Chain A
Amino acid sequence: MKFRSALLAVGALALTVGLSGCYESSDVTRFEPGEYKGADDPLLAKLEDPEFRAELDSRFDGQRDR
């Protein structure tokens, strides 16, 4: 009887330890497909600067035929 209850206790312990390995965190990071996942490009902020834009536009305008 004593042996049987000890066996049951060991079995329950093994089951608990075994099942804990199957635990899966539900706190997952979900990404929308087609959504850029990399680092932010600092150039994007620079392109918003009107002064920089004007400089860039004048450079582009230099492609006109003389």
Chain B
Amino acid sequence: MARMKFLCDADRCIECNGCVTACKNANDVPWGVNRRRVITLNDGLPGEKSISVACMHCTDAPCAAVCPTDCFYTTTDGIVLHDKDLCIGCGYCFYACPFGAPQFPTTQAFGVRGKMDKCTFCAGGPDEPGSASEYQKYGANRIADGKLPACAEMCATKALLAGDGDLVADIYRNRMMSRDGRPQTWGWAKAYGAGA
């Protein structure tokens, strides 16, 4: 069985924010919510690196561990999804997540957070795949259509890889063979364990 993972190749990311735009466009993400973002380290200095960050779909997801309503579930492929009908917007998942993935729309009065929104690996939610309610709540379900997540599919330099962990690791290993330096599988140890 496949184990879905994201990997951002920091040596290839050119900070074009195409992944962010593709995600927002494909999932109709509301204003104020960024399911994916590009972080630049040592911005403006020689050797700066950019990384595209979203929910990493952790093996032992801390968000799911702290959720008081247990609205998270993990597919057989390791994609961490949540049920917005159960979410109470408490924000515990936001505090628990090491990647800052859970987002909350802040358009309501009195600081009400609203239902949590995060990257779904373009796999929607527990509603009928392709239904209007699923799209409205979770965005596109590209996985059900046999497609990659929009961010990875749109990446011009193929810096952002998505898919089965073995395949992603194989692609990255082949790249590293023709490069100097050490592999930088940013976030993998935290998301998938020390041996990942």
Q: On chain A, which size bracket covers the interface?
A: 20 to 34
Select A63's contact among B65, B73, B146, B152, beta carbons within 8 Å. B152
**Which residues 44-66 of A sit at the B interface, judged by CB distance below 8 A?**
44, 46-48, 52-53, 55-57, 59-65
Contact of B102 with A by CB under 8 A: no
CB distance from B127 to the nearest CB of A (A): 8
Select B167's contact among A44, A52, A60, beta carbons within 8 Å. A60
Given A44-B75, A64-B171, A33 and B70 contact (CB-CB distance below 8 Å):
yes
Q: On chain B, which size bracket covers the interface?
A: 35 or more
User: What number of residue pairs across chains A and B have CB atoms under 8 A from each other?
Assistant: 84
**Chain B residue nearest in CB terms to A48:** B76
CB distance from B126 to the nearest CB of A (A): 4
Q: What is A's interface to B at a CB cutoff of 8 Å?
A: 31, 33-44, 46-48, 52-53, 55-57, 59-65
> 7 nearest interchain CB pairs?
A38-B83, A60-B163, A36-B73, A41-B126, A55-B146, A39-B126, A38-B86
Q: A62-B148, A63-B171 are in contact. List 17 more A-B contacts (CB 8 A).
A: A31-B70, A33-B70, A35-B70, A37-B70, A37-B86, A38-B73, A38-B83, A38-B85, A40-B126, A41-B73, A41-B126, A43-B141, A47-B77, A47-B143, A48-B76, A60-B148, A63-B162
